[in-house]
Structure 1
Amino acid sequence: MHTQDNPVAERFDTPSTRFLDAHGIAYVMHDYEYVSEPGKVGLHAAEGIGMEQGHVFKTLLAEIDKKRVVCAAIPVHHRVDLNRLAAVFGGNKARMLPPERAESLTGFQVGGISPFGGHAVLPVVFDASLAGLDRLYINGGGRGLVVELAPEDAVRCVQGVLAEISTPPG
């Protein structure tokens, strides 16, 4: 029950958790102190919940060939490979979506964008490294919120795909 007497429950009541609930997905919510540092939000999230970076994924929005917006989920310490991402969707070129457009499409703030429960239903591709994980940690629909769930549940509930779309650091 979400009441004013339980601010933690209210904080965990997001469009993402409502989406997961509606799809019968089991999950655990984690919160951490959000730090707005461009390019490092996901790294702070991993540190904040005490998880290895390879288990914590960030959510990025990109536009393929200036026609189709897609959601990419990759490990927080990786970089998205825009050429590979475009190829997954049969395109030639991908570019990151400007923050204002990402927020408008999803209804989430940058730093809190989730692949679950956004305003627009977008195709989702998860980095292939997800296949080797027993648990996935990804944004839960608000800054400072991470949802933990089974990787196969994450892919299934958004009808996502797995593909090699990121490069490790270094």
Structure 2
Amino acid sequence: MSGTALAALASADIPHRVLRHGPVRSVAEAADALGVEVPDVVKTLVVRRAEQDYVFVLVPGDRVISWPKLRSLLGVNRLSLPGADEARSATGYERGTITPFGSRTAWPVVADERIRGRTITLGTGEHGSAVALDADAALDALDGTVADVSDPEPPGPPGP
């Protein structure tokens, strides 16, 4: 686990377990590898509000950001996802490993309301690992805003 993320969790005094897994290509594969349900694999997305102004958005693994809901909550007309290099520059983490814990800058956190009351997994700052922790404790430590900011994941293409 990233020393920075682990130190931030320890500093926040949040009980957690580090979980190791092999390479994964999807949230479903990550859930299977971690032995958890897909909604408990929480995606940490970096969203750009303006130049050099970002927010972390935490979304359950079976859901996607609802852009209209998020724009309304943040009081902006435009949001975007930065490219991989920009996200890494803003957070210090590569895509697929991003966590609000230990980020280069402590950007605001918005969490979908569906993660409350659950044990979730988050990225750790490195590939092949995750951290399991109480969502409410994490949100309290991050001073996160909790709201309905997601929609169900659209269905994938039909099978053969």
Query: What TM-score, normalized to structure 2?
Result: 0.88
Matches within 5 A, 1:123-162: 123-133=108-118, 135-162=119-146
In the alignment, structure 1 segments of 5+ residues that lack a partner are: 1-11
Deviation at 1:67, TM superposition (A): 6.4
What is the aligned partner in structure 2 of residue 18 from structure 1?
A: 7
What is the aligned partner in structure 1 of residue 92 from structure 2?
A: 107
Task: Assess if the C-alpha contact under 8 Å between 1:62 and 1:72 holds in 2.
Answer: yes
Deviation at 1:66, TM superposition (A): 5.1
Q: Residues 17-70 of structure 1: CA distance to partner in whole angstroms, max 9, x if unpaired?
A: 1101011111111011123x4xx2x33221210110111101111112556311
What is the aligned partner in structure 1 of residue 157 from structure 2?
A: none
Number of corresponding residues: 154
Over the aligned positions, Cα root-mean-square deviation in angstroms equals: 1.6
Which residue type is aligned with residue 105 of structure 2? A
Task: Assess if the C-alpha contact under 8 Å between 1:28 and 1:147 holds in 2.
Answer: yes
Matches within 5 A, 1:63-142: 63-65=48-50, 68-133=53-118, 135-142=119-126
Deviation at 1:83, TM superposition (A): 2.0
Task: Assess if the C-alpha contact under 8 Å between 1:103 and 1:109 holds in 2.
Answer: yes
What is the aligned partner in structure 2 of residue 34 from structure 1?
A: 23
